[in-house]
């Protein structure tokens, strides 16, 4: 069976790996001209996550590039510490740069899977026999199945399931990340400063020091391709903040890249329609705090396993995939529900409350434990050898 996967980040290549191992023929189409760089760290934090990576044969490669996590210090205007989170809080049991993860997964799969970079699906037409797919750059092709693994703002979901507004819930915050050339490295730590409804932090990134900001906001209308407009929007949101904010915001002017997005959650009532299904963030993403990376690799294992178990019958397989994964993925997503409010509490009272709670080692340990429980909340089915 020929299976087209849209997206070559985490869910796409993971799914391609399992599909190829189970005798299917995957093709991955990625809109970026090559593997995307871009530097934030993602983490794995449970036996379930690590077991899948080990079964895929990538755990050692990832251990070789793990960042080790870093503590997060929250400071006041003068730089004095208000509280600190231990490295495992943000870094889990294995933390790697998302770009390293995508590279390792691509290396593991490229010999057995077809990759098409710099292209995107423009239309999907389902027939009795398959899905006719039109692309922006390549000639049309027909596949037996199509899987959208193209992230929270999924193209496949928009084409096959309807507009994003019906499937993505805004959680009241935006985030932004950019590089600050020439800034003094901060070492293995991330330092964050809050004012009500706003947070700005610095940490060492791939290309120098990175600034990362989170701010409370309704849905913002802007053109994703208009860098200048996004810079203005972020600068306005952070205007007048104390600590190092002015210096960090000033660096926005010269930034050639800015990652800016809403903090949102995918809410998709059914993950498949006919021969088309969703995986990873496209189906069950939450921008931050939702353990989307671990869920993406677990989901890929389950989806390919169910397709093999059903002998390629997509109706049976897609139903079983969702039944097996939905509760687990939803629970993980719930961890991201309050990520914005945790990082940038909306009022001075809530900020003080959060700080007081986080100074309690018992409370921090409880939060960590709750995350671990969510991340491990699935009994991995055995789909047999492959
Ligand atoms: C700032 C930030 C910090 C995060 N931190 C963590 C963390 O600590 N732990 C964690 O578990 N998760 C974290 N996440 C979430 C994590 O990045 C995602 O859950 C994970 O990457 C999901 O993988 P995915 O493959 O489903 O989607 P994505 O990683 O979003 O990849 C989607 C891919 O599809 C491609 N694509 C998009 N449109 C098209 C198109 N039209 N055609 C073809 N391809 C397309 C994209 O270029 C991309 O390669 C964080 C996210 C952000 C934004």
Question: What is each CA distance from 289 to 49, 264, 335, 336, 342, in whole angstroms?
Answer: 15, 11, 6, 4, 10
The best mutation among 10, 264, 332, 334 to test binding of ligand 1, ranked by most ligand atoms within 8 Å of the C-beta, falls on 10
311: left (phi over 0), alpha (psi -120 to 50) or beta: left
Per-residue confidence (pLDDT) for residue 340, from 0 to 100: 97
Please report where in the chains the tokens 């932090």 appear, as a residue. Answer: 201
Residues of the chain above pLDDT 90, percent:
92
Q: Is residue 228 part of a domain?
A: no
pLDDT at 40: 87
pLDDT attached to residue 225: 87
**282: pLDDT strictly greater than 90:** yes
Q: How far apart are CA 89 and CA 87, in angstroms?
A: 5
Q: Average the pLDDT over 357-377 and give the result.
A: 92
Q: Does residue 149 belong to any structural domain of this protein?
A: yes
State yes or no: pLDDT of 386 exceeds 90: no
Tell me if 327 is assigned to some domain. Answer: yes
Q: Is the pLDDT of residue 152 over 80?
A: yes
> Which pLDDT does position 207 carry in this prediction?
82
- Measure 285 CA to ligand 1 centroid, in angstroms: 8
Tell me which residue has tokens 């007048």. Answer: 240
Going by pLDDT thresholds of 50, 70 and 90, the confidence category of residue 36 is confident
Q: Taking the alpha carbons of 335, 339, 343, 346 in that order, is the dihedral positive or negative?
A: negative
Span 185-201, average pLDDT: 97
Q: Which phi and psi (to 5°) does residue 309 adopt?
A: -60, -30
pLDDT (tens digit per residue) in 92-121: 999 999 999 999 999 999 999 999 999 999
| pLDDT the model gives residue 161 | 98
Q: Could you tell me if 25 and 3 are in contact, meaning their C-beta atoms sit under 8 angstroms apart?
A: yes
Residue 224's pLDDT is: 85
Number of structural domains in the chain: 1
pLDDT band for position 37 (cuts 50, 70, 90) = confident
Q: What is the CATH number of the domain that holds 289?
A: 3.50.50.60
State which of 292, 302, 339, 371 you would mutate to test the pocket of ligand 1, scoring each by most atoms of that ligand within 8 A of its C-beta.
292
Closest-lying ligand 1 atom to the alpha carbon of residue 44: 11
**Phi, psi dihedrals of residue 64, rounded to the nearest 5°:** -70, -20
In a domain, 209, yes or no: no
Q: For residue 292, which atom of ligand 1 is closest to its CA?
A: 19
Question: What's the confidence (pLDDT) of residue 364?
Answer: 87
Q: Which atom of ligand 1 is nearest to the CA of 7?
A: 34
Category of 294 on φ-ψ map: left (φ > 0), alpha (ψ -120 to 50) or beta: alpha
What is the predicted pLDDT for the residue at 369? Answer: 93
Which pLDDT tens digit goes with each residue over 283-297?
999 999 999 999 999
How remote is the CA of residue 158 from the centroid of ligand 1, in Å? Answer: 16
Percentage of residues in the chain having pLDDT higher than 70: 99
Average pLDDT for the chain: 96
Give residue 274's domain range. Answer: 2-67+96-168+265-339
Mean pLDDT, range 341-350, rounded to an integer: 98
Instruction: Answer whether residue 300 is part of any domain.
Output: yes
Closest CA to 259 of 116, 153, 103, 115: 153
Tens digits of per-residue pLDDT, 204-249?
Answer: 988 889 999 999 999 998 888 899 999 999 999 999 999 999 999 9
Q: What is the pLDDT of residues 59-88, one digit of tens each?
A: 999 999 999 889 999 999 999 999 999 999
Q: How far apart are CA 317 and CA 314, in angstroms?
A: 5
State the DSSP code for 345.
-
CA distance 292 to 10: 9
Please give all residues whose beta carbon lies within 6 A of any atom in ligand 1, as ranges. Answer: 6-12, 29-32, 36, 40, 42-43, 98, 120, 149-151, 155, 175, 280-281, 285, 287-288, 291-294, 296
Let me know if residue 183 belongs to a domain: no
Atom in ligand 1 nearest the alpha carbon of residue 8: 49
Please say if the pLDDT value at position 38 is more than 80. no
pTM, entire model:
0.96
Over residues 150-157, mean pLDDT = 98
121-126/276-278 β-pairing = unpaired
What does the alpha-carbon distance between residue 140 and residue 144 come to, in Å, rounded to a whole number? Answer: 14
Give the torsion through C-alpha atoms of 201, 196, 167, 38, to 10 deg. Answer: -10
Rg (CA), the chain: 21
Within a domain: residue 87?
Answer: no
Average pLDDT over residues 45-51: 95
Residue 318 lies inside a defined structural domain of this protein:
yes
Strand blocks (E) in 144-197:
145-148, 168-180, 190-195
Q: Kindly write down the DSSP assignment for every residue of 31-73, as one continuous string.
A: SSSSS-----EEEE-SHHHHHHHHHTT-HHHHHHT------EE
């Amino acid at each position: 069976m020929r299976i087209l996967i849209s997206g070559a980040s985490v869910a796409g290549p993971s799914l391609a790996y399992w599909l190829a191992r189970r005798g299917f023929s995957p093709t991955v189409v990625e809109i970026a001209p090559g593997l995307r760089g871009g530097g934030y760290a993602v983490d794995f934090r449970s036996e379930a996550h690590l077991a899948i990576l080990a079964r895929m044969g990538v755990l050692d490669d990832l251990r070789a590039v793990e960042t080790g996590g870093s503590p997060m210090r929250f400071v006041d205007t003068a730089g004095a510490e208000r509280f600190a989170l231990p490295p495992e809080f943000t870094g889990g049991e294995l933390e790697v740069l998302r770009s390293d993860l995508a590279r390792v997964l691509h290396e593991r799969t490229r010999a057995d899977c077809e990759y098409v970079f710099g292209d995107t699906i423009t239309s999907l037409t389902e027939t009795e026999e398959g899905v006719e797919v039109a692309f922006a750059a390549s000639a049309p092709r027909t596949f037996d199945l199509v899987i959208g693994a193209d992230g929270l703002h999924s193209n496949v979901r928009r084409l096959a399931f309807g507009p994003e507004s019906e499937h993505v819930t805004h959680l009241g915050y935006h985030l932004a990340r950019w590089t600050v050339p020439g800034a003094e490295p901060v070492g293995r730590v991330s330092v964050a400063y809050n004012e009500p409804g706003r947070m700005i932090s610095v940490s060492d990134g791939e290309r120098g020091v990175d600034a990362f900001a989170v701010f409370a906001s309704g849905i913002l209308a802007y053109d994703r391709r208009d860098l200048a407009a996004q810079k203005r929007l972020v600068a306005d949101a952070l205007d007048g903040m104390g600590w190092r904010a002015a210096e960090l915001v000033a660096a926005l002017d010269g930034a050639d890249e800015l990652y800016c997005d809403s903090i949102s959650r995918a809410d998709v009532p059914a993950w498949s329609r006919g021969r088309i299904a969703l995986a990873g963030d496209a189906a069950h993403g939450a921008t931050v705090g939702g353990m989307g990376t671990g869920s993406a690799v677990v989901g890929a294992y389950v989806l390919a396993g169910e397709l093999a178990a059903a002998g390629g019958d997509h109706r049976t397989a897609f139903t079983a995939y969702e039944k097996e994964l939905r509760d687990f993925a939803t629970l993980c997503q719930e961890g991201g529900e309050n990520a914005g409010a945790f990082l940038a509490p909306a009022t001075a009272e809530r900020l003080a409350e959060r700080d007081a709670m986080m100074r309690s080692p018992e409370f921090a340990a409880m939060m960590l434990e709750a995350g671990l429980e969510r991340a491990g909340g699935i009994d991995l089915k055995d789909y047999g050898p492959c």
